[in-house]
Each structure stands twice: as C-alpha cells, then as structure tokens.
Amino acid sequence: MARPDRDLREACIAEAMAIVAGDGVERLSLREVARRLGVSHQAPYKHFPSRDHILAAIVARAFAAFARFLDRNPRSDDADADLGGMGLAYLDYARAHPLEYRLMFGTPLPDGRAHPEMMAEARHAFALLCDGLRRRAAARGEQPDDKAIVLDALFIWSCLHGLAGIHGASLVDTLALPPGALEASPAHVLGRIGDALGH
C-alpha cells in the first residue's frame, strides 16, 4: 500500500473538527467522517482504535486553540488589565466558538489517563490563568502560595465557565431574563470578579 497522497489520520481529525464546529459534537460519527472523506466506513478505525480516540484528539486540538486565544493579547505592564483581557478572551472564545466550547466543557470526555495529550492541553489553558494571577500578585508585592493562586484561579474559572455556559446554552431562554441583562452580564461578572479580588 503506497504512502497515501494525504495523511488520512490528520484528514479525519480535520473533518471531525469541522463537523463539531458546524453541527456540534452530537453529530460527530465516524461514518460521517468517512463519508466526507470518500473512504469506507471502517477506514478511520485504522488510525483510531475507537470513537473515543478521535474525540480525544479533537478535544486536545480544541484546548490548544482555546489556550492560544486566551494568550492572544501581548503582555503589558498592567497585570490587572492583562487578567481582565484574558477573562474577556475567555468569554469571546465561548461566544465565537460555542460548539467547540461545548466540546471541551460540556461533554463527558474520554478517560484522561488514556489520553495524556488531551490532558496536557487542558492544563495549559488553566495554567495561563494561574500565571496571570501570579503576575498580578507580584505586581502588588504579594507572594501567595501555590494553593491560594489555584483557588483564585478556580474562582475565576468557575465564574467565566459558568457564565459562558449560561450564554451558550438554552438556559438563556429558560431564565427569561429582563431586557439588557444578558448583554450586560459579561461586564458585570468581570466587574464582580474584580470586586472580589480587590482592585
């Protein structure tokens, strides 16, 4: 069998990501991936032992793209503003890429022990947030221990993750919010995070 003129494994990943980005992870099937690539339904299994494996591969890619997005702003001298910018980027990503966001955070993920690359990419995104907090603390002349940094990172991540989830899901319709509340909620929540941490 000649080396194919394309790497089918990478093509499967790209196609799976396109399906998820277009229609959501619920529509991801290996048979549809195969159909779109013009190969037999079993061909993707030559590269991925199971559906979970291709899922883990695209989750890892999604986390990597997410982390790049979080890190998109150049670092400034103002650690508070950097942290706020990261928070905005988080919400922007969730809004711009709702289906990818749900892939990462709204889907039972494959077992992390079997997919270390996926785990590493997810950790990277969280680590950016922890780094932002460390720089902020240093700029204020503080030296919190690692656990305190992580706890505040969890606080922030919880707020952002929760709000992104509310924005992205049908919960928005469900809650029957008064006019303007939805649009105002990102700035408000970010402001409250600032209140909590002390400006």
Partner DNA sequence: CCCTCCAAGTTGACAGCGTCAACCAGAGGG
Partner DNA sequence: CCCTCTGGTTGACGCTGTCAACTTGGAGGG
Binding site partner of 41, from DNA, a second copy, none, Cβ cut-off 5-8 A by kind: DNA
Q: What is the DSSP string of 11-79?
A: HHHHHHHHHHHHH-GGG--HHHHHHHHTS-TTGGGGT-SSHHHHHHHHHHHHHHHHHHHHT-SPP-S-H
Q: Does 71 bind DNA (CB under 7 A)?
A: no
Q: What minimum distance in Å lies between the beta carbon of 57 and a second copy?
A: 15
Contact string (CB under 7 A) for DNA, positions 6-25, x = contact = --x-----------------
Give the amino acid at 160: L
Q: In angstroms, what is the minimal distance from the CB of 54 to DNA?
A: 8
Q: Which is nearer to DNA, 41 or 188 (CB)?
A: 41
24 contacts a second copy (rule: CB under 8 A): yes
The answer to whether residue 52 forms part of the interface with DNA (CB under 7 A) is yes
**Using an 8 Å Cβ cutoff, are 124 and 64 in contact?**
yes
Angle at 158 between CA 170 and CA 74, to 5 degrees: 105
Among 10, 23, 26, 29, binds DNA (CB under 7 A): 29
**Residue among 27 and 140 whose Cβ is closer to DNA:** 27
Q: Does 155 bind a second copy (CB under 8 A)?
A: yes
* DSSP annotation string for 161-186: HHHHHHHHSTHHHHHTPPTTHHHHHH
Question: What is the largest distance, in Å, between two alpha-carbon atoms of the chain?
Answer: 64
2 binds DNA (CB under 7 A): yes
Residues at the interface with DNA (CB under 7 A): 1-4, 8, 28-32, 34, 39-43, 45-47, 50-52
